[in-house]
Structure 1
Amino acid sequence: MSIPYKPLNYPARQYYQYGNMRQQPMSYKSLQEALTLIMQAVAGEREDELFYDYLISVAPSQEEKDIIQSIRNDERKHNQMFRTIYQDLTGQAIMAPTDIMFEKPKSYVDGIRKALFGELAAVERYRDIRAGLPDRFYRDMAFEILTDELKHASKYNYILNLDLSRMMGK
């Protein structure tokens, strides 16, 4: 007596008995979902740049300024990559808003915390973008962006640890 195989309920997925070929969907996210998320990511570009410039201006050490500058530069690269992906797939350019303001954090450390959690939230959004892209070329670009975001989160954790060390007098 065998237990019947019960497939998971994913769209366009066909299962066959164990050991036989199975057809899998291209992705669990759609291209349209990915394109919408790319537009949202690019739309926040100017606000992010103002925020990073502010953090750089108030960073207490050159090391921290250099770290945040490297993150900001990566973010500029990511935005260009997202714009390229969007234009390649739609034939249209994304226009970013020009009249952007940003809210200054209460303190440098609050800004670093906000940046850290912003990077982690971006990982989740960019994972969905990657899942909706149609081929390996664009998925690899999104993977590069995703891994940079994880690297940025680690760098912000390092900066928070530097602040903790300063507070403890070490």
Structure 2
Amino acid sequence: MPQPGLANWPYHRSSDMVITLIQQSIQGERNDELFYDFLIKLAPTPQEKEVITGIRDDERKHRAMFRTLYTQLTGKAPAVADGAPEQLPASYLEGIEKALLGELKAFEKYRTIYLHINPQYRDWIFEIMTDEIKHAGYYNWLYAKNK
């Protein structure tokens, strides 16, 4: 019995799902950027501000990557929605916890994209996924430091 491999993967069946997840990711990255702008203002030390600023800048990069990817896959630019963070936290620590959980959920979504997208785009998704795991580590450190 032949082993299932990448050459036999049915990308065409997954393309609508991948496009939908990329659309959601464009907006999610924008929402995260705005949320992290708020957390930067709450951060109690310059070091913490610097860490969150770096994460926020990565989210901007991810959004640009997803926008480019969407355009390459569909031949058209994604719809632009500026948005705003859904609900702002009552405290810095609550915001850090929300950010940590959000980064882990994003990683799971991006793993699904990674597994279903044409292999020529996997390096892009891999870079975004590893950034998200790095962000989760930083938010875990910030949470522990402020608990």
TM-score (norm. length: structure 2): 0.90
- Which residue of 2 is the match for residue 4 of structure 1? none
Sequence identity percentage: 47
Partner of 1:10 in structure 2?
Answer: none
Matched, 1:152 2:139: no
Distance in 1 separating the partners of 2:103 and 2:85: 20
Of 41, 50, 53 in structure 2, the residue corresponding to residue 69 of structure 1 is 53
Q: Is the 8 A contact 2:39 2:92 kept in 1?
A: yes
Which structure 2 segments of 5+ residues have no match?
A: none
2:14 to 30, 47, 63: 30
The Cα shift of 1:67 comes to 0.3
Q: Which one has the largest radius of gyration?
A: 1
Q: Distance in 2 between matches of 1:52 and 1:139?
A: 26
Q: CA deviation at 1:78?
A: 0.6
Equivalent position of 2:125 in the other structure? 142
Using the alignment, how far apart are the partners of 2:82 and 2:137 within structure 1? 31
| 8 Å Cα contact 2:18-2:116 kept in structure 1 | yes
Deviation of residue 99 (structure 1)? 4.8
RMSD over aligned CA atoms reads 1.8
Q: Higher helix fraction: Structure 1 or Structure 2?
A: 2
- How many Å apart are 1:160 and its aligned residue? 1.1
Find the aligned partners of 2:124 and 2:85 in 1 and give their Cα distance. 29
Which stretches in structure 1 are left out of the alignment for 5+ residues?
A: 1-15, 165-170
State the match for 2:76 in structure 1. Answer: 92
Q: How many residues align?
A: 144
- Mean Cα displacement is larger for which, 110-119 or 98-107? 98-107
Match of 1:44, SS state, is helix
Aligned-partner SS, 2:113: helix
State TM-score, norm by structure 1.
0.78
